[in-house]
Structures are given as C-alpha cells and as structure tokens.
Amino acid sequence: MPGGRVIRAYSNVYYVDTGDEVLECRPRGRLKLRDTRVLVGDLVRVSQAGPGLGAIDEVLPRRNALARPQVANVDQAVIVLAVHEPELELLLADRFLVLAAAAELEAILCLNKVDLACPGEVGPVVKVYEDAGYLVVATSAKTGEGLAALRSALARKVSVLAGPSGVGKSSLLNALNPDLRLRTGEVSRKVRRGTHTTRHVALVPVGSGGLVADTPGFTQLELDGIPPQDIAWFFPEIAALAPRCKFRGCAHRAEPECRVKEGVAEGLVDGGRYARYLELVREAEATYRAY
C-alpha cells in the first residue's frame, strides 16, 4: 500500500503526494467512523482507486498539529522580519521565537529585504542571533540574495513562515517557487468564518524536498498561556546557563549568584536579548493566569 503526505484539502477531498504523483483522495468510511480528521501535513496510507484517484486507509501517528495554520507534522517555524519597511523590531523577533519554542518547533530567523540595509547593519543582528543558537538567513526576495541558503534551510522539512505583515513572506515563497503566484504587497483580508467559508491551507514545494505552508502561522502574538517562569527556557542562551544559577527557580532578575546575569556582564549573553527577556517575562506575568 503506497504512502504519502496530504498537501492540500478541500472539505472532504484530500490531495496526497505519493512522491510519484498527487492523488485525489477520499477517506475510507471506517476512517470517518473513527472520527479521525485528516489534516494537511498528515502522513497517510492510500490505495489507488482509479487514475489519479485514491482512498485514505490510515492516518499515521502525528508528531504535532498546529492550530493556525492547521497543519500536522510541522518541523520548524521560519520567523521572517524585514531589515526595513517595516522597521526591524527585535522584541517582535524574540516574541515570535518564544511562541515557536512554546509550540515545540525549531525556529530559524530570516532577515529579509537586505537590499534595503545600510552597509554593516545586518551583520551585528545576525551575530546576536547566531550566538544565541539560531540559524539565521539574510535574504532579499527582490535581488535573490540568500535564497539558496533559505532553500537549504527548508530542505526535506515541513515549515511554517511567521512574521508581521509586509516583511515579504509571500514574496519569498514566490521567489522560491515561481509557480505559486501568491499575492504580495497587500494586507491580507480577514477570512470570514462561516458555514461556507473554509480556511484552505496547502503545503507548497520550495525545492530540495522542502514543503512550506502557504498561510503564515502565529498571527496571534499574545504570550498568555505561557507561564512566566518558562520564558527562560525559550531563550536558548539563557536556558544553557540557568542550571548553574545558585537558586533553583532563579528568574535571572535580582537573585544573587545568577549565572545568567554574570553571562550578560561577561558578554556571553547579549544585553539586548537579556533586556527583551525581562520585558517578555513581565508581559507573561501580566497575562498569565495560573489555575
């Protein structure tokens, strides 16, 4: 029985890429009875039901499933920000990185619109995030700079792009796969949610076996739901030093013999990242309700 991945879904019709072809599939009756909703991204077993047609016999166990966009088996989030237009906001970068980590996704940082950068402007930002432990790619959807590096970061993985409107997410996808013709340069309209409007999401190929959701993720940026004491675990360079703080449960603020604060003083932890860590902890404290 061949296997494949669901790359697109419309009501009860699923498009399954088997590697050789894309089959238009319906789930078998017993799947429906077991109330297993098939998601885009699911790995499934199918049997051929005619030319180009198939039936989904089984959904293989999922690694994870994101709510927005609704995609299963996501490997990583690519946080896209622009160097300019809109202006780079590092607190926003860190917020997205924390949200991705809280969703248990690997995160990559993509700094787009490098064609608009002043000389010497991008390098220091790249260094801060590389030192923190992230893979960083500097790209321009306009000139093509960095697209090969982005494609190799996406190779053989399922990725979701995240980032504010206007930074070039759709432009980057179009540049990686010119067949897509996604709309760019406009504020995306809010999808009406009603009985006849379905949110469609598709996984689109971007070369080297990489698949990317054509709908961005993490559109809600509130940290509520993330316990304030967990924020430190979502800053890799802080998490690395935290076990060596004197006190268990050290918040790396006013506590004595805090290895993280020493790390900041020694330049091991970037001062800007540390300041934004404190900012995000304050925000999580203001919004988190422990039950």
Ligand X SMILES: Nc1nc2c(ncn2[C@@H]2O[C@H](COP(=O)(O)OP(=O)(O)O)[C@@H](O)[C@H]2O)c(=O)[nH]1
Separation in Å, CA 90 to CA 43, 193, 199, 249: 36, 32, 30, 26
Q: What angle do CA 16, 171, 77 make, to 5 degrees?
A: 60
Strand order in the sheet with 135-138: 135-138, 106-112, 76-82, 158-162, 211-213, 203-205
Which of the ranges 45-53, 54-62, 89-97, 112-120 carries the binding residues for ligand X, by CB under 6 A?
A: 112-120
Q: Which does 70 bind (CB under 5 to 8 A by kind): ligand X, Mg ion, Zn ion, none?
A: none
Which of Zn ion, ligand X, Mg ion, none does residue 111 bind to, with CB < 5 to 8 Å depending on kind? none
Q: Amino acid letter at 34?
A: R
**Binding segment toward Zn ion, per CB under 5 A, in 16-24, 37-45, 145-153, 237-245:** 237-245
Q: Is 258 in the site for Zn ion (CB under 5 A)?
A: yes
User: Which residue number, 23 or 108, has a Cβ lying nearer to ligand X?
Assistant: 108
Instruction: Tell me the residue type at 7.
Output: I
Q: Which stretch binds ligand X (CB under 6 A): 66-74, 167-175, 197-205, 252-260?
A: 167-175
Straight-line distance from the first to the last Cα atom of the chain, in angstroms, rounded to the nearest whole number: 47
Instruction: Work out which of 27, 41, 69, 168 binds ligand X, going by CB under 6 A.
Output: 168
Report yes or no: 260 and 269 within 8 Å, Cβ to Cβ. yes
Assess 214 for contact with ligand X (CB under 6 A).
no
Stretch that binds Mg ion, among 54-62, 64-72, 161-169, 218-226 (CB under 5 A): 161-169
What is the rounded CA–CA span in Å between residue 284 and residue 103? 16
Nearer to ligand X, 140 or 177 (CB): 140
Q: Which does 177 bind (CB under 5 to 8 A by kind): Zn ion, Mg ion, ligand X, none?
A: none
**For the chain, where are the E strands, in sequence order?**
3-10, 13-17, 22-27, 43-50, 53-59, 65-66, 71-72, 76-82, 106-112, 135-138, 158-162, 203-205, 211-213
Binding partner at 245 among Zn ion, ligand X, Mg ion, none, C-beta below 5 to 8 Å by kind: Zn ion
For β-strands 43-50 and 3-10, DSSP reports them as: antiparallel
215 binds, among Mg ion, ligand X, Zn ion, none (CB under 5 to 8 A by kind): none
78 part of the interface to Zn ion, by CB under 5 A: no
| Partner in contact with 176, chosen from Zn ion, Mg ion, ligand X, none, beta carbon below 5 to 8 Å by kind | none
Q: Is 178 in the site for ligand X (CB under 6 A)?
A: no
Q: What residues from 1 to 20 belong to the interface with Zn ion (CB under 5 A)? A: none
With b for 16 or more beta-carbon neighbours within 10 A and e for fewer, the 201-239 pattern comes to bbbbbbeeebbbbbbbbbeeeebeebebeebbebbebbe
Q: Specify which residues 55 forms β-bridges with.
A: 26, 47
- Is residue 170 involved in binding Mg ion (CB under 5 A)? yes
Determine if 108 is a binding residue for Zn ion (CB under 5 A): no
Degrees to nearest 5, angle at CA 66 with 64 and 68: 175
| CB of 13 or CB of 116, closer to Mg ion | 116
Residues that bind Mg ion (CB under 5 A): 169-170
Q: Which residues bind Zn ion (CB under 5 A)?
A: 245, 250, 252, 258, 260
